């Protein structure tokens, strides 16, 4: 079709706060050690946002860097979509606060909650708006301050999470990373496997809820792992099929950085070699919706993603949600 429109990743950026909390640091807080954490998760350290740093602060930095990378000015941006489970407030939405700091021209902005699948959900939404002709330039952000909802006395979960933000500028003109085939879905019947019980109208935050730590992350790790591998495999394969590709065409897999065992299992069921999988969980921990954009930005700027590469992004998170999308990088560098 002569007038067919496409959506491209034009620039990326990420931000990781200081200080860094190492496994040895955690061993002084709970009954754990570096070997126990590393062997089970692959994590060596995680970034911790200070008390006075909010989601919007990290989102702003990541978005600003993505705009610089794309060569965009504030007046170019037409919308901001932000995936997060840890916004600054229930309202106003964090995306609007970020847009204001970026100096954008009162453009439409919204937050959405899709857990660790948030960034992929955002890319799919941006692709839909751009290919339909409604928008030309959108910023998609995945950002989390998970340490604000972490139970620091639970050694099974406190070792997992970190803070950070990643962003991508999505435009209607190439070259860049062409957003291709995708698949997404959810299953609310399994929502209880990963939740924040006291956080809304179903169970407001009360003194009793705080005493019970219902205002902190609850996770059934074993069940989550089984569901995650299956969902990311299916999402990746269906996205590839929609793009007319198979696993043999994949140059790089960037999956949600939840746990190295989950990443290894996902790569194995997709029949990908480990050299074709990007892993940085050792440096950041699980940053939920921020993990894929952080990893993608790193992979682009350290030369892992090369011109002409076909990259699959795959994620799984609270909801339960999942998603996968193919990104074809232009032959032009």
Structural domain boundaries of the chain? 8-177, 180-329
Fold of 8-177: Peroxisomal Thiolase; Chain A, domain 1 (3.40.47)
In this prediction, residue 332 has a pLDDT band, given cuts at 50, 70 and 90, of confident
Q: Do domains 8-177 and 180-329 have the same CATH topology?
A: yes
pTM score:
0.97
What SS3 state is found at 16? Answer: coil
Query: What pLDDT is stored for residue 3 in this prediction?
Result: 77
Radius of gyration over every alpha carbon of the chain, rounded to an integer in angstroms: 19
Class for the domain spanning 180-329: alpha beta
Instruction: Find the Cα–Cα–Cα–Cα dihedral 267, 329, 83, 143, rounded to 10°.
Output: 80
The burial class, CB within 10 Å (0-12 / 13-18 / 19+), for 57 is buried
Catalytic pick from 109, 116, 158, 169? 116
Instruction: Please indicate whether residue 158 is annotated as part of the active site.
Output: no
Residue range 290-331, pLDDT digits in tens: 999 999 999 999 999 999 999 999 999 999 999 999 999 999
Q: Is 286 tagged catalytic?
A: yes
Residue 256 known to be catalytic = yes
Q: What share of the chain is helix, strand, coil (3-state, %, to 5)?
A: 40, 25, 35
pLDDT digits (tens, 9 = 90+) for 65-90: 999 999 999 999 999 999 999 999 99
Catalytic one among 23, 93, 215, 286? Answer: 286
């Amino acid at each position: 079709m002569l007038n067919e429109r496409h959506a491209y990743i034009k620039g990326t950026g990420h931000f990781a706060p200081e200080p860094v909390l190492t496994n040895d640091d955690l061993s002084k807080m709970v009954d754990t050690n570096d070997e126990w954490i590393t062997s089970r998760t692959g994590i060596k350290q995680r970034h911790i946002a200070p008390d006075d740093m909010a989601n919007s602060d990290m989102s702003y930095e990541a978005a600003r860097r993505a705009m610089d990378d794309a060569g965009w000015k504030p007046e170019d941006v037409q919308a901001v979509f932000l995936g997060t489970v840890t916004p600054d407030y229930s309202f106003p939405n964090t995306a609007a606060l970020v847009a204001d700091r970026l100096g954008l021209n009162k453009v439409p902005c919204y937050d959405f909650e899709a857990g660790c699948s948030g960034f992929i959900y955002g890319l799919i939404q941006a692709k839909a708006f751009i290919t339909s002709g409604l928008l030309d330039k959108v910023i998609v952000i995945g950002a989390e301050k998970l340490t604000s909802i972490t139970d620091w006395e639970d050694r099974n979960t406190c070792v997992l999470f970190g803070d950070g933000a990643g962003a991508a500028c999505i435009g209607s003109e190439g070259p860049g990373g062409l957003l291709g085939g995708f698949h997404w879905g959810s299953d609310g019947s399994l929502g209880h496997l990963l939740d924040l019980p006291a956080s809304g109208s179903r169970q407001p935050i009360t003194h009793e809820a705080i005493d019970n730590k219902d205002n902190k992350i609850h996770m059934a790790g074993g069940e989550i792992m089984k569901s995650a591998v299956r969902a990311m495999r299916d999402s990746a394969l269906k996205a590839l099929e929609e793009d007319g590709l198979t696993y043999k065409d994949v140059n790089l897999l960037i999956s949600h950085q939840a746990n190295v065992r989950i990443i290894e299992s996902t790569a194995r069921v997709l029949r990908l070699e480990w050299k074709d999988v990007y892993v940085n969980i050792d440096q950041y921990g699980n940053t939920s919706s921020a993990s894929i954009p952080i990893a993608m930005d790193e992979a682009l700027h350290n030369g892992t993603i090369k011109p002409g590469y076909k990259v699959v992004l795959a994620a799984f998170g609270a909801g339960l949600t999942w998603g996968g999308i193919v990104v074809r990088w232009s032959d032009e560098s």
